[in-house]
Every structure is written in structure tokens, then in C-alpha cells.
Amino acid sequence: MTPSNDSKIGNPETTVPKTPEMNERDFVNDMLNTEKYMTASYSTALNELSHSSLYEDVLSIFNDTQDCQRELYNLMFQYGWYKVEAVDSQKLQQTYDQFSGYADQQSPYLN
């Protein structure tokens, strides 16, 4: 079953000219992707840092970067440039039940 256009969550899309040059949406999307990459990289670094002071510094930078990523996401959502699809509650429950079963079977702490 393919979702209808009514299942999109987001504001109406603004008109963006289709040209080979990057437009405002392209620039913001590029910044958002960069921030996502940076937060993932900082997260990896935080998992591997043993020096407490350095850990705190990188954690502060990670938090600032994560906040910036969220602001860019909100901006794109506000302009209708970032949409997510709504999922009905039955489908959500099925997925939850499926992965809850995996966790129960695979977790060494629950057995």
C-alpha cells in the first residue's frame, strides 16, 4: 500500500526555481547534511575519548552542533522543504511489536 499525499507531514512546499545553480533550499539542505555528518562524527569521538577534559570540550561542541542541526531541520520543515510521512497507529504498533521481540531475543541482559 503506497501512502497518499495526505499522509505527508509538513508545510506546503514553497516554490523553488529548477535551475542548475544551487538555490536557498539546496544550501540549507547541504548545511543540514553537514551538521548530521558532524554530529555522527562527534558521537563516535565521544565514545572513544578517555581524557575527561577533552571529552567535556567535545561534548560541548557536539551539543552546539546538534542544536544547529535541529534549527536547520526546523527551518526546512517550516518552509516545506523537509517532509515526513505519517504512519497509522496500527502499523506503528506492528513495528514496535516486531522490534520488541528482537530485543527480547537478542539482549544478553534480558535472558
Question: If we measure between CA atoms, which residue out of 78, 74, 69 comes closest to residue 39?
Answer: 69
106: left (phi over 0), alpha (psi -120 to 50) or beta: alpha
**3-class DSSP state for residue 107?**
coil
Per-residue pLDDT reduced to its tens digit, 31-47: 999 999 999 999 999 99
State the cell numbers at 43.
558521537
- In this predicted structure, what is the pLDDT of residue 101? 72
What residue type is assigned to position 1 of the chain?
M
- In this predicted structure, what is the pLDDT of residue 3? 45
Per-residue pLDDT reduced to its tens digit, 2-27: 444 456 676 666 767 677 888 999 99
- Confidence bin at 1 (pLDDT 50/70/90): very low
State the cell numbers at 98.
516486531
Per-residue pLDDT reduced to its tens digit, 81-111: 888 888 888 988 888 888 887 666 666 665 5
Whole-model pTM: value is 0.67
